[in-house]
Each structure stands twice: as C-alpha cells, then as structure tokens.
Structure 1
Amino acid sequence: MNRKNRLIAMCVAASLSYAGALQSAQAALIGTEQVAAAQGVVSADAQAAQQRAHVLSFLDRADVAAGLAERGVSVDAARARVNSLTDAEVAQLAHTIDTAPAGADSILGVLVFIFVLLLVTDILGLTKVFPFTRSVR
C-alpha cells in the first residue's frame, strides 16, 4: 500500500504543479454599446439620423429640385418639412425612396404584358397579330 499511496501522491503533486502553471482568466463587464458596435448594430437614433440624411440628400438632386419647383414647392420648404417629420415617417419615406421603381421599369413591364396578352389571344384564335403563332381553333 505504501507504493500505491506514493503513486497517488506523485500524481496529485504533478496535477497541482500543472494547474499552477495555467493562466488565470480575466473577466470584465462589457457595455451594451460596445457589443452593438462590434456586431454592427446601429442605435435607433443613429439609424433615424442616417435615414433623415438620406432623404435630405435626395432633395439635393437637380431633377428632384426641378420637380418640386414645377409643382410650386421650394427646396427649403421641403427640407423644413422633412426636418419636422417623426422618425417613423422619415423611415417610411426613406423606404419608399429606396424601393420605388424607376420610370423605365414600369414602361417595360407594360410592354411585356401587352406582348404576352396579344400572344395568348393569337394562340387562342381571337386575334391574328403575330404570323409565327398557330391558332388552337
């Protein structure tokens, strides 16, 4: 048994000496702002300011200024109105500006719709516009 106790004591001593060589961990509190900045999260105030700046930069465009002048609205009056909007209204307006289709998109869509409509009516035998179609009648 003496040999067994000696082996156990040596294992415990080796374990304790190894545990003493390990680094201790340091822990500190991290603020919410630091975590949000690290993950790229923007606060609501900063996001509202970015959207307001986006809408105001949209008013700087020459075609927008010309359109406002054509309707009798000055750019300064439009800027004052944008500055008086709530954050939710500015967010909705910025979303509308970003997702509004360009004028050419709607014309192209209408032309494709008319082409498909005439093609279907040609195939059904109601019209004869395209010479490359055969009527089902």
Structure 2
Amino acid sequence: MNKLRRLARPISYIVTVGVLALSVHLPAVHAAVIGTEAVVSAQQAEFDRTRVQSLLGRAEIKQQLLAAGVDPSQVSERVDALNDNEVHQLAAKIDQLPAGGDALGVLVFVFIVLLITDILGFTDVFPFVKKPVRR
C-alpha cells in the first residue's frame, strides 16, 4: 500500500501532463472544393509548358538559338519562370506560326498527285482507276 501511495504522485503528474498535452488546441485545417476550372487550367498550363519545352529541345531550335547567341539552358530556365498565362500565350502564338506541315498533309498530297497521274494514264498505281482507252 505504501508503494502505491509513493507511485501515485508521479503517475498523477504524468497523467496531468498527458491530459494537458491532448487538450492543446491545434488550428483546424479548412478544406475547400476545387472547381473544375482550376483543375483544367492547371493541367492546360502544365501541358503548354511541356509542349514549349519539347519544342525548345528540338535540334533545329537549339541550333537557331546558338546561332543567335542564346544559351538553350537559359531559355529553358526562363520558360520555367513564366507564369501560367504567359506560357499559354506563348503556346498559342507557336500554334499560329506557319510550319513545314505534317505527315498527313504530305500523304494526302502524294495520294492526290498519284491519283491524277493515274487518271491521266501516266502511271498505273491504283487498280480501281479506269484507264483511258489508247488508240
């Protein structure tokens, strides 16, 4: 019994400190619903940023930058420093610039040229084209 009374005081101190530690008020975390526009704009900005970085990573672009005396790594750092709106404007401007064309356009052009030459009888590429009768 004496042993229990001797341990009661230190145990009561430990329990008191524990209860006080648990009762310390921590600030509440407030969560909010993120709108679809915020998610889409963040994804669009990331997509635009990677697209601009991939364009700057092309060999032809790097050669042109070096010819102009600009370090490509410095350009990459500056693109990373742009805010989302500026990156979107840059990507939109790149889309508006004329380009060399895409592979689909070239294939359609070659198909039409071969079709016309086949119709005129200069080539025999497509079996579905009726050949002109030669006299």
TM-score (norm 1): 0.41
Whose RCO is larger (CA < 8 A, sep 6+)? 2
TM-score (norm 2): 0.42
